[in-house]
Structure 1
């Protein structure tokens, strides 16, 4: 009796993935709704309020100094080693590689470039906005502060807002933004919020950022996620152009290559005089003609030089002339006698 082979765990996983549709019938693209516009406006107001509070050295700056003097890394040194690794979840390089690998797999499965292009647009906006704010305000970090109680603005620093926090909000929040179901979007939104909150507080614990830096980083990352629906149209246009370029490249590679001309075919000769001459077909070379040996070669096997027969004809090589003999006999001189 023939029995079927039992599939392993990985084979069952890949078999389940193969049953998924290769191209979804409908991709839910977020739109800039009224609710999202209200959230974007509130987040922008919060962002500007934090910047103003730091510029005028308000209570927020005093709170920054109090947390810095508290030195959390000295209060709880037992979690220092773990948080040194946890803060990597906010670094742009490792997180971008991990998220791009997942979104690349989704793009390959769904035959669409939207996940990768959305990630690229979000990271581009993050670099432009956060980078401009960092170098524009030039705030120094806690380890490089010069005057106690000062806001340390416009002194050549680059920590305001926190890049780790903003990157964690955008990189992990893009998974929730691209989720295919509302339930997955809710779970991924909560997970990205907890992750970014933990990364921001870790930078405060390590003493690399002020507390106000983390608050502004959260606001900066959330602004980018809320503004992404405005860039859906350019993302769709870029996808169409990239796919059209790919199709043109494939069509050029698949074009038939012209067959080479045969050996005996006439070739095109440049020049006006030569081109006017008719091209005559050459006589085909037969096997008997090709196998015919030259007349000047002696037949037979190879022999030594002394044993070879002469190949030149015997006798004089001068052609015979009949008039020489008659002329010589007619004009013969008499012998002078004796």
Structure 2
């Protein structure tokens, strides 16, 4: 009879996560160092300067219009097919799926949910901050511009182009791989690769005419701000991971208790009853033994025996004789002849 339960996919996943971690013990987790704080402050200032320059219609807006009239997609049409595919590296859906697959495998191998939780945190921050800026400034894109030389701001409900979502998403999605690297050397290499990818995605949108150059610059700054601020969320992610694993253990215990057949005691430790909670009772074996002994021979109790004493009686002779009656004659015996004198 099989007593083991049929494991579901979720059980097998958690069983895999229960194995010993394969990640290095000296894993380098980024901290909010003074160098990072300086970079965060500088990027925040750069972010504000771009917004001020666009709102005041400065030289940056004039540069936007010059690039728009230049129409790079007409100057180099042979690049159009390649850039149409390359710009997908900045779309949120495809990039999130690719990065999620990689970080999910890492979580599986390293016995931790930190990579997945950090990815979710960064994407949440990206949607909140960039989405709020897009809706709050309402800028129209180059293809929908109405007045030449204007900043095309405050078109609420129509414009949502500032900052560039493609660019910010490329910075965060590919930059999170560098942030979660296991060593400083790997982090430097991945940081360079992610920066090149994000730079190319931003310039691709300018080439296609879907974004102003200032949109791309603000998208770079918005994505970098999120990456630089992630160490502040590490304690929250650690508490969330501990809570998820504790919840998993409680669910396991409930499922194990519910799967036990009727009549089988649970495999969890029970509280022993106190001395005052147990009523005083006589031993059942002794009571049965005494009752049986007294029922057979009240004067011959043998406490040293564990079984009742059998009564030894003399055999009783049956009433009457078993010899055949002299007057009875067997039917099968023939009668003897009578002899005369």
Cα distance per residue 1:225-269 (max 9 Å; x no partner): 0000000011001000011011111122222614369xxxxxxxx
For 1:229, which of 224, 228, 231 is the aligned residue? Answer: 231
Give the corresponding residue for 1:294: none
- Judging changes above 3 Å, is the alpha-carbon distance between structure 1 residues 26 and 204 closer, same or farther for their aligned structure 2 residues? same
Q: Distance in 2 between matches of 1:176 and 1:134?
A: 27
Give the corresponding residue for 1:129: 129
- 1:21 deviates by 5.4
Q: Distance in 1 between matches of 2:261 and 2:95?
A: 49
- Judging changes above 3 Å, is the alpha-carbon distance between structure 1 residues 182 and 25 closer, same or farther for their aligned structure 2 residues? same
Q: Distance in 2 between matches of 1:22 and 1:171?
A: 24
Give the corresponding residue for 1:13: none
TM-score (normalizing by structure 1)? 0.70
For 2:201, which of 194, 199, 202 is the aligned residue? Answer: 199
Residue 171 (1) aligns with residue 173 (2): yes
For 1:183, which of 182, 185, 199 is the aligned residue? Answer: 185
Give the corresponding residue for 1:259: 262
Q: Which runs of 5+ in 1 are unaligned?
A: 1-19, 262-338
Residue 106 (1) aligns with residue 106 (2): yes
Q: How does 1:32-181 map to 2 (within 5 A)?
A: 32-155=32-155, 156-181=158-183
Kindly report structure 1 stretches of 4+ aligned residues shifted beyond 3 Å.
none
Q: Which runs of 5+ in 2 are unaligned?
A: 1-19, 265-341
Q: Distance in 2 between matches of 1:27 and 1:239?
A: 17
Give the corresponding residue for 1:210: 212
Superposed CA RMSD in Å reads: 1.4
- 1:182 deviates by 1.1
Q: Distance in 2 between matches of 1:228 and 1:109?
A: 23
8 A contact 2:138–2:160 mirrored in 1: yes
Q: Distance in 1 between matches of 2:209 and 2:244?
A: 44
- 1:191 deviates by 0.2
Q: Distance in 2 between matches of 1:25 and 1:188?
A: 21
Q: Distance in 1 between matches of 2:213 and 2:146?
A: 17
TM-score (normalizing by structure 2)? 0.69
Q: Distance in 1 between matches of 2:178 and 2:94?
A: 19
Q: Distance in 2 between matches of 1:51 and 1:43?
A: 13
Give the corresponding residue for 1:303: none
Q: How does 1:1-40 map to 2 (within 5 A)?
A: 22-40=22-40
